[in-house]
Structure 1
Amino acid sequence: MSADPAIQGGGEGASAPLRVTMLGLRGVPNVQGGVESHVENLALRLAELGCEVEVIVRSAYVDAASPRTWRGIRLTRLWSPRRSGIETFLHSLLGVLRAGVSRPDILHIHGIGPALFTPLARLLGLRVVVTHHSPNYEHEKWGAGARILLRLGEQVAMRWAHGRITVSTFLAEAMRRRYGVAIEVIPNGIATPRILSSTGTLTAYGLSPGRYVLSVARIDPVKRQLDLIAALTRQAQPAAPVLVSAEGGGDDGFEPAGGEPWRLALVGGADHGTEYARAVAEAAAASAEVVMLGYQSGDALAELFSHAGAFAMVSSHEAQPIAVLEAMSYGCPLILSDIPAHHEIAPPGTIFVTPGDVAGLSARIAAIASGHEAETVTAADRARVAERHDWRAIARRTLQVYRTVHRPRSV
């Protein structure tokens, strides 16, 4: 596809493509994670607009035998260990040093952890754009030392980057108040939903159309999958007379009279073998209502969204979860945690629950299983989501940020 000359990067009046290096993610393509999905889609659209895009990926997530180009994107595989809390630090350092040698027009750092090296990139003479994807220092899994480094990463990103982007309005407002800097709000994007009638994936996992709650997220304490499992198995639920179990008693699943039991479909895997990941796996194995599907993409994921009875994301913290936007695009009834990130994007009819309130979550799911409360996303709201979160428009806005901070190479 030819570039749009009105917005193509390069020098003043020049046609030379803008050279962009992206850093801060595990890898692309088809690597689990919100930042990974963001970069994968953004890089593709920037390439369509005429940029030369390089993505620096981690050796622990991208096989050594994998191609070094993907749909016009150059993939540079740098060594990293697969160890939480260390891999991001080491890989980001190596990535900035690599960019200091390759000299891209723009180094686009994703995330406040990798952004810790923004001053080093500046010292190397690089033009730096940082996207603040999430206030990770609020996440439960990090200890005191990691939280200090993440806050420092946020601070240096806001003060040292040439261009600043965040994916949500509430986070942008917080950055402006805290640091007094200008920051662009450019949201996450979604692809056009592919609503499928096929049910092969459902059949393979014992799911029935319209009879399961879908959750799509990395297995991580901040995502609170244990709360969803507890809610479905009613481990902390008060009496709910509107429901009967699959056997007329016991704890075999949410089931309105005369129907099939509802199940919980957990899509996503764990990057590391943590205690939380093991706890989720054990709890799921002990419950007939819970199915763990691991990482899913393509037709399988589209099928799961197409037939979900409801979608749930009960995280304690988010910035702008792509999975929620995708669920909205498919028209799924939504059960979301009562946090600013969800209120910013949720349509009318969304069911909100307090993070950690398993009893309240259980009652909400029970009501949906009984045919109450569930409201599908309207066609008007789906159209609004599609327009606001179109990847091509997002790429154009990102490219404008690049052009604003770019200093043309001398000729």
Structure 2
Amino acid sequence: MRVMLLVTDLERGGTPLRLARLAHGLRELGVEVAVGCLAPPGPVSRELDADGIQTFACGAGSARDVAAILRLAGHVRRIRPDLIHSTLTHANVAARLVGFLLGVPVITSTATIEMERRWHAPVERLTAFLDRGHIVNSAALAAHVVQSFGRRVENVFVTPPLIATVGDRLDRSVARAALGIEPSAFVLAWAGRLDPVKRVDLLIRCTELLESSTQLLIAGDGPDCGRIASLAAASPATGRVRLLGWQRDLSTLYSAADALVFPSRTEGLPNVVMEAMAFGLPVVASDIPPHRELAGDSPRLALVGGEDAADWAAAVHRLRADLAAAAAMALLARRYTAPFQHAACCAAATIRVYETVTSKR
């Protein structure tokens, strides 16, 4: 089977990185894979190229660059896939149109519960009839696409999430020395693509309310990086908030941290949260459907509702006051996420969906 994986861009971020891991898993199982994006090539493109996975880019200059769809059609004619698997609304719409015109089956995907861009839902509804099914990686996302996109339940396929294996845990003192952190500090970590929807500014306000021994380490880059850097510089906690930039390997950060804090307004099933859970790091996250699914009834992570920094500070206080309970929560989380670190297992489930949808019509 030859499969084309298509996404809006291949910049560093949760969805492109998850797609790259899927490509590796599919290749391990004998699937011929090409990975591409509507935008110009990004860092993930270069990493895939280096790993011997074919990539392509449609060079879209903006969301309104209709010529990118024509360039996508050219790539499809050249690569001649048996199936196009797209992810995110722009890529989904482009794949549906090109697949319909060229007679190539298309399966689409949603990676997040979108609330910011309200036009996504009607566009997904309008074009959904052109694909053969929709893949998500959580029950929360499945419920979202059925309700918001009008997808039929029988055409929504839930496959296991696939998370990166974070490097080995380092000695805490070694990790802290590498990051220039005092041994006695209480360290909060955040990692990901800096975007307003991630609400990293809320974490800066939270840190201002916490003890002077508390430090916040922010690992990532993205469109909100400049604003977050300015807020951190102007904050009363400026000496306790540090931006580390993009970190390809988070093992040093996780080894040095006492907890991951993740206040996103919307998410799908966030890679960083699941990676921290798999690493055994306690997690405090926003009370949204995907995080509730990860928390379960046990719970496996602590949830905080709303945007009040005082509520987040109180949650961190509770975690710090009962480290034994935090460790027990982290152990449950680590056990829960263990199966999701095997690329071949998750890729096999995806292949079964491919076989199901290509056997239709």
TM range (shorter): 0.7 to 0.9
Tell me the equivalent position of 2:309: 358
Q: How many angstroms apart in 2 are the aligned matches of 1:176 and 1:63?
A: 31
Residue among 130, 133, 145 paired with 1:160? 130
- Tell me, yes or no, if structure 1 residue 98 matches structure 2 residue 98: no
1:108-123 superposed matches below 5 A: 108-117=85-94, 118-123=96-101
Change in 2 beyond 3 A, CA 1:121/1:292 = same
Offset, 1:152: 3.4
Q: Which amino acid aligns with 2:161?
A: N
Offset, 1:311: 0.6
Tell me the equivalent position of 1:288: 239
Conserved? CA contact 1:163–1:402, under 8 Å: no
- Tell me, yes or no, if structure 1 residue 21 matches structure 2 residue 21: no
- Give aligned-pair identity as a percent: 27
Residue among 280, 286, 295 paired with 1:346? 295
Conserved? CA contact 1:24–1:92, under 8 Å: no
- 3-state SS in 2 of match to 1:80: coil
Residue among 151, 174, 192 paired with 1:179? 151
Tell me the equivalent position of 2:181: 207
Conserved? CA contact 2:12–2:43, under 8 Å: no
- 3-state SS in 2 of match to 1:316: coil
Conserved? CA contact 1:135–1:319, under 8 Å: yes
Conserved? CA contact 1:313–1:336, under 8 Å: yes
Q: How many angstroms apart in 2 are the aligned matches of 1:79 and 1:365?
A: 44
- 3-state SS in 2 of match to 1:233: helix
Residue among 133, 158, 169 paired with 2:111? 133
Q: How many angstroms apart in 1 are the aligned matches of 2:156 and 2:143?
A: 9
Residue among 264, 278, 283 paired with 2:226? 278
Conserved? CA contact 2:264–2:286, under 8 Å: yes
- Tell me, yes or no, if structure 1 residue 216 matches structure 2 residue 196: no
Change in 2 beyond 3 A, CA 1:378/1:228 = closer
Offset, 1:55: 0.8
- Tell me, yes or no, if structure 1 residue 197 matches structure 2 residue 189: no
Tell me the equivalent position of 2:346: 394
- 3-state SS in 2 of match to 1:268: strand
- 3-state SS in 2 of match to 1:175: helix
Offset, 1:120: 3.4
Q: Which amino acid aligns with 1:22?
A: L
Conserved? CA contact 2:58–2:69, under 8 Å: no
Change in 2 beyond 3 A, CA 1:332/1:90 = farther
**311-320 or 387-396, which moves further after superposition?**
387-396
TM-score (norm 1): 0.76
Change in 2 beyond 3 A, CA 1:180/1:406 = closer
Q: How many angstroms apart in 1 are the aligned matches of 2:265 and 2:330?
A: 26
Conserved? CA contact 1:113–1:154, under 8 Å: no
Conserved? CA contact 1:159–1:179, under 8 Å: no
Q: Which has the larger radius of gyration?
A: 1
Aligned length: 347
Q: How many angstroms apart in 2 are the aligned matches of 1:39 and 1:157?
A: 23
**91-100 or 321-330, which moves further after superposition?**
91-100
Q: How many angstroms apart in 1 are the aligned matches of 2:28 and 2:211?
A: 47
What residue ranges of structure 1 are gaps of 5+ in the alignment?
1-17, 235-252, 256-260
Q: Return the structure number with greater helix share.
A: 2
Q: How many angstroms apart in 2 are the aligned matches of 1:303 and 1:363?
A: 26
TM-score (norm 2): 0.86
Conserved? CA contact 1:205–1:293, under 8 Å: no
Conserved? CA contact 1:25–1:35, under 8 Å: no
Q: How many angstroms apart in 1 are the aligned matches of 2:278 and 2:47?
A: 32
Q: How many angstroms apart in 2 are the aligned matches of 1:372 and 1:382?
A: 16
Tell me the equivalent position of 2:31: 51
1:143-154 superposed matches below 5 A: 147-148=118-119, 150-154=120-124
What residue ranges of structure 2 are gaps of 5+ in the alignment?
none
Conserved? CA contact 1:229–1:284, under 8 Å: yes
Conserved? CA contact 1:23–1:95, under 8 Å: no
Change in 2 beyond 3 A, CA 1:156/1:54 = farther
Conserved? CA contact 2:186–2:214, under 8 Å: yes
Change in 2 beyond 3 A, CA 1:90/1:345 = farther
Q: How many angstroms apart in 2 are the aligned matches of 1:156 and 1:396?
A: 30
Cα deviations by residue, 1:80-116 (Å, 9 ceiling, x for unpaired): 33x6x557x7656633442144321111111122212
Conserved? CA contact 2:294–2:300, under 8 Å: no
Tell me the equivalent position of 2:56: 76
Q: How many angstroms apart in 2 are the aligned matches of 1:131 and 1:71?
A: 24
Q: CA RMSD in A?
A: 2.8
